[in-house]
Amino acid sequence: MTLQNLESMNLAQLDSLIKKKEDDLLVLKQYREQRVNPEIIVNVVQASGRSMPISVRIKTKVHDLAQQIRGRLEARPPDGTSMSLIYSRTELDWPKTLEDYGILGGETISVVLHARQVETEDMTEAMKERERLQARVDALEQDAACRSRVVREMVADFMARGQFLAPVQ
């Protein structure tokens, strides 16, 4: 199509041509995206052992894949649960992409959930109280051991001098 042909077109024909060219560009863009960053399907094995296919781009970051997986898990993990993704006995690093690991379509990625203990204020206060009580118990035990040692030394001293306490009548 030459510039002269465009000049002879009416508005409806120009709109139609522009729409066709936009559609062609969209197809080319999708083709280029698929060529540069192809979409693949990976099989994700959940903690329950069930597998689910997930469609992702090869240049998807592991972190983004983990978020997608977390949203599709059959049983939502409780808050404070962290997740690791394992591929070929290797834990995947969050900032890397699937392409960095050579992951191709049809590969299997396993999900491992890790329970994390979350300290709350109540737990912190309880731990402080426990430590305070344990310190008090330790101090009392040391005091009792010291008193016991002093009593033993006094008894030994009295016995060495031959001074025995007479029974009270």
Q: How confident is the model at residue 37 (pLDDT cuts 50, 70, 90)?
A: low
Per residue in 103-161, pLDDT (tens digit) is 888 889 999 888 766 556 666 777 888 888 888 888 888 888 888 888 888 888 877 77
Residues 146/138, Cβ–Cβ less than 8 Å = no
DSSP string, 77-117: PPTTEEEEEEETTEEPPTTSBTGGGT--TT-EEEEEEEE--
Q: Which residue has the higher pLDDT, 47 or 165?
A: 47
Q: How confident is the model at residue 33 (pLDDT cuts 50, 70, 90)?
A: low
Provide the 8-state DSSP code for 57.
E
Instruction: For strands 39-45 and 90-91, give the pairing.
Output: unpaired
In the chain, which ranges are continuous DSSP H helix? 3-7, 11-36, 62-72, 121-161
